Each structure stands twice: as structure tokens, then as C-alpha cells.
Structure 1
């Protein structure tokens, strides 16, 4: 259990204060006018007592008219105050929601890749949309009304003693079960609320996965299987929601029944007191009018308590992300590369995931490798040798757990993340595009350019030429065509070429390419390789190779085995001296022929 979820309810909700603080004056104003509306409602029974015991007994029509006007004025005032409450709090609380949502998104961007490896995207999505929206509704309505209604009940109960201490005492004692039931309700409902919101996140993940994997599900005819899995999760959520509904229904039962019983006992007491002439008819009438005015505040407590507990759960879930430690950060005293040459060195590098058992070897296990400026080095190795893991270390997608990675002689941990990721560009084997235009996707790494400027057009054209992505000009709206979610409107080869164009357009000092041509046909691959050779002449490149043709672009080849570089040399030298390398190349050739 996270530290946030173990906090008490008040302390948990208090964590929202830094976000609410700018809106606090308006929130206080909204609370004051809401309280004024409640007081206007409570004032009506006092006026009615005076009317019954005065003008109605004496028959003074003028006073009856004036008293009727007073009751009408109090009703209008109550309506105006309710309107003002909404005007006071609605806009500032939507700004609070915006701030929380923006801060949450910024936190997601700042957290390291290891965090996102552990968390389901649906859980994060449900927190971003559902939980933050719930918090805004609570701040706008629930918090204010809970405070005002509890205060109204206390003030109203105190006023009940005004007419006769016996009536007030009976009403107070008869209402005590409401507070006891409310306390027990919080204990039971809190765990159900958390379970429900977590299950909603799991369900969102299931929907997201099935939508992203719709081609696979259809290809294998497994739509029915996916539906069955979804039905189980949906049924679990439904079951939890039914348990929540039963708890809410039970507390509503008590909140409805207890006031009725209290009024019944008060009626008996009041009749006796009137008979003993200790209470007038007007006072008894006013007492019940006041009790009726308290009926809504008392009945609302069940809804407001459940609302508050749901909000507490939402707050805990949000702060689970806010509390997550950001481990990959800028150094306290960053260094800077004055003249980028593009040398890249791995010095006794070790890496393992934090949750890996101690009995397992490191994924990268004491690797030492150096790339000179302008050199292209191909990295080859069997599956599981650590090639892809190695490509995540130069840009600090993960931090080494031992040794160091150096860029131009400086440990990458001593550079700011902005400078590091500007100087090292990465193209992954699985290309990821965003729901934006071709132009915006390719120029994603060029923070210095306006994407619609002539300079950007020149960079874009050159990058597309290198990646042999001329098809982009022929799309319905050319380079301004929206590629759709994750670029799924394009073929795998088209997405890969645009991803390659993106890293070329970024013009980094060092290129790290994880098999960037795997989805291309042989002819297109040859054209891309020829263009890349021109680009790579002045750029240092580390290329994970899964094809012999990719190896042919390299000045040198490094062989990885069990997380280490075991051999380094030219392609021809390794063919002559290394049996393991010959085995790897023959495997690559077999795979390439199969792909054809």
C-alpha cells in the first residue's frame, strides 16, 4: 500500500490544498453565500412562529401581508444565494482541475521509463480523466455543501432548543444514530471505493489493449475470447458497484428513517407540552417547520459522505503518481559540451532492472565499447544478448547500475536531459508516431524550428529523402495529412521510414538505431542505406543490426554475448577469425532470405 492511501481521510484530502489555494478566496465566498442561503431557510420557521402566534390569532391582515412578504423575501434570498454560490466556485474550480490535470501530465512526462513499464496505461488514463474530474466536482459542490449542511444541522438543532429544551433534547438524542452509522459507513465504503476505481482502470486498460490489438484479434478470430475476458472484468466491476450501491442504500435508509422517527417522538412530546401549556401552537408549528428545513441537510449526508470517500480515493490514486520518485533527473551542477564531436563510450557498463532477482546476471554485464567521432558501429548478437537494452542507456531512458556512458568524454549523467537528448537521437525498431501531421511527426525533435517555416521545409525534405519517404507527398493532404493514432493508417514500412526521417531531421551528434529498417523491402532498404551512408559520414552511429545488409554500412562490428562485447573488428576480419560471428551472420542471412 502506498503512503498516500494510508493517510486519514482529512489528511488525504488536505493534500489538495496547494492546488486549491489560488481559488480559496472564491471558494470561501461560495461557502459564505451557501451558508447565507441555509440561514435564510432556517429563518423562515421563526417568521412562521410569529405569524401563527400573532397576526393569525389577532386577524391583523396588514401584518399577515407583511409576514407573507417576509417569507417570500427569504425564499428569494435563498435562491439568489444558491445562484451566487455556483457563480463563485464554478470557474475557479475548473481552473483547479486544469492545474491538477496539467501537473499530472507533466509528472507522467518526467517519470522515468521504468515507472511506465510497471504501470498499466488504463490505470493512468482513468486517474487523468475520471479521478481528476471527480475531484473537481467534489471541490465545486461536495466539500462546500458538506461543510454548510453539517453547520446547518448544528445551528438548526441549536435553534430547536429555542422553543423548548425537551423538544430539542428528544430530537438531538434521536438523531445520534446518524453520526454512528456515518462513521461505520466510512470504514466499509472506503475499501469498496478504492477497489471500484482500480477495477475501472483495469477495464480501461483492457479496452485500450483490444483497440490497439484489433488487427491481431481479428486475424486470429479471437474477438469472442477478448469479449469473454472483458466480460469477466466488467462483471467484477459491476459486482463491486452493486456492493457500493448496497452500502449507499443502507446509509440512505438510516438517514431517511432516523429523522422521521425523531419527528414522531418530537410530535408526541410537543402535543404533551402544548397540553401542559408549556408550548404554544405557533412554537410547535415553528419547531416542525425548522425540523422540516433540516430534513434535506440530514438526508444529504449519505450522498455527501460517499462523495467525499470517493474523492479521497481519487486523491490517493492521483498522489500515488505524484509521490512516485523521479530517479532520472538533471544533475545538481550540470556540465556542458562546448564542441560536440560525437564520441560515445561505454566504460564497464552494468545494467539490471531494479526488481530483478540477485541470482540473475546483469542484462548488460561489464560492457566496454568506444565509438570514435564519425564512426558507424554495428552491434550484432543473438536474441537476449542485451543489444536493445544497450541502446536505451546513452539517452538515459534507463540509467546504468554500474560503470558509465560518456558522450565526448563527459558522463551522460552530468549533462542536462535536454542537452543529452538533443545530441543523441534514437530510432526504435517499433516505430511510434503521434496523432498529428506528417510534418509535425518528422520535425518532433527540432525544437529550434517553426514547423511551417522555410527552414523547416528544407530540413523536412532532406530527412524524407534520406528515409525514402516520398510517399508522404502523395498522401491526401500531403505533409499536413494526419497519420491517425500511432500512425496506424500507414503501413509498417511507411511508419518506420517516417520514424527514421524523424531522427535524421533532429540532426544529433550521435545516432542510435535499433534495427530501423526491419519493415522495409530489400530494394527500399538498399536506397535508404545508400542515403544513410551520406548522412553517417559526419555522424557517429550505433546500429543494432538484424540483417547482413545493415552490417555492411558499418566501419566496425561489435559482437554481444551475455551482456558483454566479446569481439570487435571489421566485418571481414570477424568473418575470418570468429566462428560465433560467422554463425550470427549466417542466421541473419537465413532470416533475410525468409523475409524475402
Structure 2
């Protein structure tokens, strides 16, 4: 029950503002720590009490030595029993109590929940980045940075709280206790503190700089390894295992060298501080013995001074590693910020409203787009798709067909012009509502590594079992789903499909995708090479399902096999991002232009020959 109370102090799924996390490291820390400040405030107070108790125990040691030296054994407990009882209370009750409170705050509240709070909020922010963001980086590196940032930020914040009090309390308390015995005992410790701060000031920035480089190198290594695993089929097909090994070897070598560079600095810092610690112990103990020999301090003061400097010596090594760890973690946070603190390229406008599609008219008005390259891929394009009309986009590779579809989905923002659906500018509606109104079957169908049922219900999560079965039947997927099974013994709809659906054939993946869109039943439909993975027999079998799917919807279809879209209401021919022809199949053949040439190439069997 007690553990559960501490575990519920931080909600890992707390909502965060939608704006970008700060791009400056201190403000980035504050952004997340501010959300859990009550817990850290309590930890700060508890850390102070724990440090004071630790110092008090050393003062008790010196006090006991002096009492024992100056009191007859028979009278020792009768004269000092109350004082000894208080020391026992501090050692046996207060110290364990506050240490337990400290550990529960760290291990039950902060470590699990705060770490996952940071991961959750970062994941939510990154998940809404544009398609281009994910296309420009390794999926493995993005995931690595999301995971490591939560750990590193938490560790460095907790270490700062713990180290802050231990350094401050031990140093100040030692100086006070030494001054009470004899002010000259302060001299070695004061010199050591100055030298210690100087060593940290010299070495820590180097540790931080090299840790950032090592962390970036580690993320790159992770990205390369995950990239190889993700594309393992290509790797095997081209028999490039050695080339892939060299690709990973290069990243491992780079990461090793950068980690070694960081290690050199840490070793140098360790050796320097160890030498300074030896001087502190020898200097303080020697000075204490000399002062005792002169009758200026008691034996208890020697015990206190020696035990405290030995403790400070041990603590300084811990502080050194903690400070090194803090800046290594700060370096990893900075590395993670390269992925996390990046403005979203495609965002909803303030006050964006949900898209309403009563009719289904799509209007491209003077559309310009070039993927930011300057020279327009699509230039001044105008196209109106009437409600319920079914058009086919035709043209050679690179003509802009898929780009036009991506712009309609607002995976990228236009560079000029606008796209309207039933008179509503898609840049002024929410992205979620826009894509909810569009069903799409793509050429490269990618499924989630989840069950068949989960993949299908992505189309409509609230669909009933009867609606699910009807969509499966219409897509002719009922022919193979009952026979599916996975390594865990799950079968049928419960079978998992593997990463990106690799356990299914191309035709099976395509039929799952068609069933998913049938289930979604959106008023606008995009078919991007929807039957490209199907053989002619299967394509003919589900053509009826596709016609059912298209019924009553506004349809934009892309296909290189022109026979699959020849029956569309209208064909729009693109070349170099411009509409060069438009009309029915018969009209375009009679016109004798680009479409007629493409048709002759395919039906005549001489693809690519003019």
C-alpha cells in the first residue's frame, strides 16, 4: 500500500502543451522538471536531512572519543546516557527513516514515472511531425533518442539534487567542526576545495563535449543496425552481408573512438582528484597530530578530522563520477534534443475546425510544390474533381501523381495555391479530421506488427464483429486469414503479421489494406496502385469489391497498369507536374497524345519504346 502511494505521485501520462519543447538545454530541463516540482522539492529537503544526519554521525564519533577519554568507565553511561540515547535514535531510527523516504521518492516515484512521463510527451510530440521528418532520419535513431532522453534527464536531475547537498553540507559542516576544534584545521580542506573546484571546472566541460559526440555516435550506430534489420530481406537478396558488416563496423569504430576520447578525460580527472585527496588526508591528519602534540586539540578532534577527511575523500570520488555522469547525461539530453526540439513542419492552424464532407468535391487551385527544392515539381496546377466523380491520374514516373495525393492528405504543406474539399481549405481544418475523411490503399502496403484484427480495426476501431467479417469477405481476405498462424500459436484474426507485415505475401497485405479501407468507409477514396501486388486472377476476383468500395465516393486512382483505370469517369494525364490531357479513355485514345502513347506501349507489349 505504501509503495503504491509513492508510485502514484507522478502521472506518466500527464498531458503536455502542444508547442515544441525548448531548444535550449536549461529551459528543456525546466520544462519537464516543472511538471514534477513538488516531488523534487520534497527530495531536496529529504536530501538535506540525510546529509546532515551523515555529518552528525562523524561529530558523534569525535564526541564519544572525548567522553570516553574524560569519563570514568563506571560512570560513563550514567553521566552520558541521554546523549548516547539521542545518538542511537539518530543512527537507528532517523537515519533509516529518511534514507527510506529518499529511496522511495527516487525508486518508486521519480525513476519509473518521471522517465516515462518524458518519453510519453516526447513521443506524442514527435509522432505528429511531418512525413519528411521521418524520411530524413533513421527510425532506430529517433527511437533511441526518445528512450535515452527520459533516462538521462531523470538521472542527471536526481544526481544534481543528491550531489548538491552532499557537497555543500559535508564541506560546510567540516569547516565548521574544524574551526570549533582549531581554525588551522580548515587550511588543508580550504586548499583542497579550491583545487577540487578548479579540477571540475577544467575537466567537466571536456567530459560534456565528448559525451555529446559519443552519444550522437551511439545514436548513429543504433540507426544503422536497426536499418539493416528492418531491410533484412534486401540485405539477403543482394548477398551484401559483408558490406552491411562494414557499414556497421564503421559506426562501431567511430563510437568506440569517441567513447575512448571521453574515457581519457574521465581517467585524467580521476587521477588528478585522487592525488589531491591523498594530499588532503595526509595534510589534515598530520596537522591534527601536530596540534594535538602541542596540546591545542583533543584526541576526539583527531578522530573527527581524520574520519571526516576520509569520508570527504570517498565522497569526492563519488562526486567526481556523479558530476561526470551528470554531464554525460546532459550530453545525451542535448543529443536527444536534436530530434525532439524541432519545429513541426505541418501544423494545425489556431482554431482549426474539423472537416465536413457533405458532397465530396475536391478542388486544386493554382497548386505549386517542389519539396523545398525551388524548381517546381508541380506548377500552377488546377483540377476540379466533382462530387462522386472517379478520376484516374496517369503519367510517366516523376510526373507528380503521388505528390498530388500527398498534398491532398496534407502530408506536406503547399508552397502556393490551395486545395479545397467542399469549399473548405484543407490548410484550415485539423489534420486528423482531414485524413479521417479519406480512405487510401497504397502500392506499398505496410502493416503494423500486431494482429490481423488490430490492423483491420485501424480502419474503424469501433466496428462490430459482423462489420469486420463483411469487410474481410468483400476484400476476398476470408480465403487466407483462417489459415494464418504465428510463432506464439495465435491463429486467424489473432495471428501477428510481423514487422511491416512481412509474414504475408504482397497480395495478402493488399487485400488486408482493402478490407481496412472498406471498414473505414470514408467519403473520399484514393487508390495508389491499389492492385499492383495482385496477380491478374486475384485482381479480377476483387475488382467487384473495389467497385463496391468506390460506390458513392469521390475517387482518385493512380495506376501504371492503365487497364485498371480505363473505366474511370475521367482520366487526367500529368507530365512534369502539369495537366497535359484530360478526358475519357476513348477520348484520349482518339486525341493521340501522351496517354495514347502510354496505352500503345502497354497493350503492344513494348513498354518504354516510343
Q: TM-score, normalised by structure 1?
A: 0.91
Query: Post-superposition shift, 1:59?
Result: 3.3
**Cα separation, 2, equivalents of 1:560 and 1:467:** 30
Give 1:293's aligned residue: 311
1:396-454 deviation per Cα after TM superposition (whole angstroms, max 9, x unaligned)? 1111111111111221112222221121122221111112221221221325x1x5xxx
Q: Say how many residue pairs are matched.
A: 577
8 Å contact kept, 1:42–1:293: no
In the alignment, structure 1 residue 579 sits paired with structure 2 residue 593:
yes
Secondary structure, aligned partner of 2:500: helix
8 Å contact kept, 1:157–1:172: no
Give 1:143's aligned residue: 160
Deviates more, 1:154-163 or 1:104-113: 154-163
Query: Post-superposition shift, 1:22?
Result: 4.5
Q: Give the counterpart of 1:532 among 546, 555, 571.
A: 546
Give 2:376's aligned residue: 362
In the alignment, structure 1 residue 473 sits paired with structure 2 residue 490:
no
Query: Post-superposition shift, 1:27?
Result: 2.5
8 Å contact kept, 2:450–2:496: yes
Q: 1:232-271 alignment to 2 at 5 Å?
A: 232-271=250-289
**Cα separation, 1, equivalents of 2:607 and 2:508:** 21
Query: Post-superposition shift, 1:564?
Result: 0.9
Give 2:580's aligned residue: 566
CA RMSD, Structure 1 to Structure 2 (Å): 2.5
**Cα separation, 2, equivalents of 1:75 and 1:258:** 31
In the alignment, structure 1 residue 17 sits paired with structure 2 residue 24:
no
C-alpha distance 577-6 of structure 1, shift in aligned 2 (>3 A): closer
Give 2:508's aligned residue: 494
Q: 1:181-580 alignment to 2 at 5 Å?
A: 181-335=199-353, 340-354=358-372, 356=373, 358=374, 361-447=375-461, 449=462, 451=463, 456-470=464-478, 471-476=480-485, 477-580=491-594
1:299-344 deviation per Cα after TM superposition (whole angstroms, max 9, x unaligned)? 2121111121122223323444443222323333445665521111
**Cα separation, 1, equivalents of 2:552 and 2:423:** 18
| Structure 2: runs of 5+ lacking an equivalent | 1-19, 486-490
Secondary structure, aligned partner of 2:379: strand
Query: Post-superposition shift, 1:247?
Result: 1.5
In the alignment, structure 1 residue 155 sits paired with structure 2 residue 172:
yes
C-alpha distance 578-404 of structure 1, shift in aligned 2 (>3 A): farther
Query: Post-superposition shift, 1:511?
Result: 0.7
Give 2:488's aligned residue: none
Deviates more, 1:99-108 or 1:276-285: 276-285
C-alpha distance 259-228 of structure 1, shift in aligned 2 (>3 A): same
**Cα separation, 2, equivalents of 1:156 and 1:440:** 62
Secondary structure, aligned partner of 1:43: helix
Secondary structure, aligned partner of 1:543: strand
Query: Post-superposition shift, 1:292?
Result: 2.1
C-alpha distance 292-366 of structure 1, shift in aligned 2 (>3 A): same
8 Å contact kept, 1:161–1:169: no
In the alignment, structure 1 residue 55 sits paired with structure 2 residue 68:
yes
| Structure 1: runs of 5+ lacking an equivalent | none
Query: Post-superposition shift, 1:506?
Result: 1.1
Give 1:169's aligned residue: 187
Q: TM-score, normalised by structure 2?
A: 0.89
